[in-house]
């Protein structure tokens, strides 16, 4: 799993790898170079100079606005083990821009429904609307200006769109892994239609009764019968939930 | 704590256990433990597909090649495997070297 800079920083952080030094000047250089390519009709990237302080980076898109101290961004890249070359910082910046907040209009126009963690402790999951931006899958948080009815419409449309996400089945012994190869974080889009999943399993002559689903957003997920699913889940150190089939059909929004 | 087996070693173990369960070979091992080992052999690549970072970090730290995966066996399951005849030195060595941290 990668972080907002597209590195495996969190996982590799356990290893004694020396961090690159990334200074504000290099980040400012990369912003000036990359911004024209990353900007769009709605997305505006600017550097705001401040007297006596480090410059601020401003990202504006529709109702969303992000401001961050450039020095803080450089420090975050160092902590995430971004490679200190121009290429490394440019890739990290593009990934960070990809993780910017999703606007209400984007969610409404292109949102997909996938499962995500509903609490900081990663103990329960629920549906969330996401937008795919290249390799990045960014989560939508409705702005304060959106009416509840509009939120409901966006969510429903996202679930309908999720039916079109290609999620492949990989049979491994008594377990079936469901993966969206193009973007693994979209794998749980398949759970929008449990009925269709059962149909696909039965077409392959695979068991469809007493199934449990092991879900670990944003990773691919697994279907298996009780003891096999339990063995899979018990031996994992990473956050996951094991759901009985009826719970899948009753998942709420997170 | 898992045992680390390469793809060829896992395949050899799967085929050997399969032959025993099909009745083509004999052993004193309890079939239920051997079936559990087959399940584990199938689940190892599943874990790697769902949680690739977890294994990749440990594999990188230990210097294992990409096809080496952690296999988690109980004492009884390991005992059932070690009672099989005809296993290669590589498989026996992986199981006798003891489990290594993930």
Print the SS3 string covering chain A: CCCCCCCCHHHHCCCCCCCCCCCHHHHHHHHHHHHHHHCCCCEEEEEEEECCEEEEEEEEECCEEEEEEHHHHHHHHHHCCCCCCHHHHHHHHHHHHHCCCCCHHHHHHHCEEEEEECCCCCCCEEEEEEEEECCEEEECCCCCCCCHHHHHHHHHHHHHHHCCCCCEEEEECCEEEEECCCCHHHHHHHHHCHHHHHHHHHHCCCCCCCEEEEECCCCCEEEEEHHHHHHHHHCCCCCCEEEEHHHHHCCCEC
Q: Report the pLDDT averaged over residues B13-23.
A: 91
CB A189, CB A162: distance < 8 Å: yes
Q: Structural domain boundaries of chain B?
A: 2-95
Average pLDDT of chain B to the nearest whole number: 88
Cβ separation of B51 and A238 shorter than 8 Å?
Answer: yes
Angstroms from A33 CA to nearest CA on chain B: 32
Among A11, A219, A231, beta carbon nearest to B50 = A219
Cβ separation of B54 and A237 shorter than 8 Å?
Answer: yes
- Give pLDDT tens digits for B29-79: 678 999 999 999 999 999 999 998 878 888 888 888 989 999 999 999 999
pLDDT value of position A17 = 62
Cβ separation of B53 and A172 shorter than 8 Å?
Answer: no
Cβ separation of A220 and B45 shorter than 8 Å?
Answer: no
Q: Measured in whole angstroms, how far is the alpha carbon of residue A188 from the centre of its chain?
A: 11
pLDDT value of position A13 = 42
- Give pLDDT tens digits for A201-229: 999 999 999 999 999 999 999 999 999 99
pLDDT value of position A11 = 47
pTM of the model: 0.87
Q: B93 touching A, CB under 8 A? A: no
Look up residue B37 and give its DSSP letter.
Answer: H
ipTM of this predicted complex?
Answer: 0.81
Interface of B with A in 45-74 (CB under 8 A): 45-47, 49-51, 53-54, 56-57, 60-61, 72
Angstroms from B51 CA to nearest CA on chain A: 7
Tell me which chain A residues have a C-beta less than 8 angstroms from the C-beta of B61.
Answer: 15
Q: Which of A232, A238, A240 is the best substitution to test chain B (most B C-beta atoms within 10 A)? A: A232
Nearest CA in chain B to A2: B53
Q: A39 touching B, CB under 8 A? A: no
Tell me which chain A residues have a C-beta less than 8 angstroms from the C-beta of B43.
Answer: 172-173, 175, 228, 231-232, 235
The residue ranges of chain A whose pLDDT is under 50 are: 10-16
Cβ separation of B43 and A231 shorter than 8 Å?
Answer: yes
- Rounded Cα–Cα distance for residues B60 and A211 (Å): 34
Average pLDDT of chain A to the nearest whole number: 93
């Amino acid at each position: 799993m990668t972080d907002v800079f597209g590195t495996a920083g969190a996982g590799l952080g356990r290893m004694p790898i020396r961090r690159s030094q990334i200074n504000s000047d290099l980040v400012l250089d990369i912003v000036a170079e990359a911004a024209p390519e990353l900007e769009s009709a709605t997305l505006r990237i600017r550097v705001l100079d401040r007297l006596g302080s480090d410059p601020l980076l401003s990202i504006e898109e529709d109702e969303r606005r992000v401001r961050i101290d450039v020095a803080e961004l450089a420090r975050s890249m160092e902590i995430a083990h971004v490679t200190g070359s121009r290429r490394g910082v440019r890739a990290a910046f593009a990934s960070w821009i990809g993780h910017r907040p999703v606007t209400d209009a984007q969610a409404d126009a292109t949102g997909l429904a996938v499962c995500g963690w509903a609490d900081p402790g990663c103990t329960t999951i629920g549906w969330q609307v996401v937008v795919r931006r290249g390799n990045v899958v960014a989560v939508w948080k409705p702005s304060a200006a959106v009416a509840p009815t509009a939120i409901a419409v966006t969510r429903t449309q996202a679930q309908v769109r999720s039916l079109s996400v290609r999620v492949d089945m990989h049979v491994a012994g008594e377990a079936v892994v469901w993966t969206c190869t193009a973007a693994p974080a979209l794998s749980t889009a398949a759970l929008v239609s449990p009925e269709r999943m059962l149909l696909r399993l039965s077409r392959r002559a695979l068991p469809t009764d007493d199934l449990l689903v092991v879900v670990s957003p944003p990773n691919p997920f697994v279907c298996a019968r009780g003891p096999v699913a339990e063995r899979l889940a018990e031996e994992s150190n990473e956050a996951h939930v094991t759901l009985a089939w009826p719970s899948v059909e009753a998942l709420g929004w997170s | 704590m898992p045992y680390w087996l390469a793809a060829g070693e896992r395949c050899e173990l799967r085929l050997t256990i399969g032959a025993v369960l099909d009745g083509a070979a004999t052993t004193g091992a309890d079939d239920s433990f051997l079936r559990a080992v087959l399940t584990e052999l199938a689940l190892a690549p599943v874990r790697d597909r769902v949680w690739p970072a977890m294994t990749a970090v440990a594999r990188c730290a230990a210097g294992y090649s990409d096809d080496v995966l952690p296999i988690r066996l109980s004492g009884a399951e390991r005992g059932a495997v070690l009672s099989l005849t005809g296993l290669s030195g590589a498989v026996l060595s992986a199981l006798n070297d003891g489990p290594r941290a993930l």
